[in-house]
Amino acid sequence: MRIGVIGCGAIGSLFAAHLATLDDVEVWAYDVSKAHVDAINQAGLRLTGVGEVHSRPRAIADPAELPPLDFGIVATKGMFTGSAVQATVTALANAAVCSVQNGVGNEEIIAEHVAKVIRGTTFPAGHMLEPGVVQWDTGGKTWIGPFEPSPASMDEVTALADTLTRSGMETVALPDARGAQWTKLIFNAASNALCSLTLLPHGRACVHEDVRWVMDRVIEEGKLVAEALGVEMEMDPADLLESSIEVAFEHKPSMLQDVLARRATEIDMLNGGIVRFGEETGIPTPFNRTAWALVRGLEASWKL
């Protein structure tokens, strides 16, 4: 089996490093960071933190070097989905391509380029320490299922889930993965946006009375939109937020990491996604719209 990880930042590196420990899987890691690619090829890819993994995927910065793939795992930030898949489309032509990205809307973009798409949601998190080395901050499961408008087969979904689980990334194959996706979407919309606006780590934001009040309103709106769409979530995002405080008290969500580095964020795929689906279903989302607008304004301030 040949698997390509498209976008080998922190999350992509978690998948690539684990998969490369399997003798029966050929793993290709594509990333635009030549320093990261060179470090992986020279000394391997190392994860540290929640677990220790050191493996040697084949790393490339030139998408033309990718061979034909059986599976693709897209792990870029949402704003780069289209360009990343377009750059690797030749290798992905006959592959079943799975998004493990934050938010909603990525699968629709992938489906513009390939025929077989897998909807995915993952909870493990981390951050880059240096080229070739990733801090693995939190564990958790991954859920995947056929993307309804342009689906991979359930056999392909199950094969990928089984392979990921064997590698140490516990993955559940579902006929309908929307529930898992919306659970994390709403959780992230509350956590990432408010952490980014307050500069507080995850747990500290959650236990701050004023910040938590806004988080709870964001979650309430998201749940109403999901209900209007007929999505049955894996668990209540409010319960997930509460249970995550202890394990991620000092964790800086990926969006906060982007804000601190003054990089573009995924706010359009998170709170912006809830707003778009709210408009489609007639559900008002003023708190999500406000968070979306404020983060967009923060991004604009960096260009002054």
Alpha helices, DSSP H, located in the chain? 10-19, 34-43, 81-87, 89-92, 106-110, 154-167, 178-198, 202-207, 209-229, 237-247, 254-260, 271-281, 286-301
Q: Note the pLDDT of residue 19.
A: 98
User: Tokens 């408008």 sit at which residue?
Assistant: 149
Structural domains for the chain? 2-173 (3.40.50.720), 178-301 (1.10.1040.10)
Q: Note the pLDDT of residue 234.
A: 79
Check if the beta carbon of residue 151 is closer than 8 Å to that of residue 178. Answer: no
Q: What string of pLDDT tens digits covers the 304 residues of the chain? A: 999 999 999 999 999 999 999 999 999 999 999 999 999 999 999 999 999 999 999 999 999 999 999 999 999 999 999 999 999 999 999 999 999 999 999 999 999 999 999 999 999 988 899 999 999 988 899 999 999 889 999 999 999 999 999 999 999 999 999 999 999 999 999 999 999 999 999 999 999 999 999 999 999 999 999 999 999 987 899 999 998 898 889 989 989 999 999 999 999 999 999 999 999 999 999 999 999 999 999 999 998 8
CA atoms of 141 and 123, how far apart (whole Å): 6
For helices 286-301 and 271-281, the axis angle rounded to 10 degrees is: 140
Q: Note the pLDDT of residue 304.
A: 83
Kindly report the pTM of this predicted structure. 0.91
What would the two tokens of residue 229 be?
Answer: 């769409």
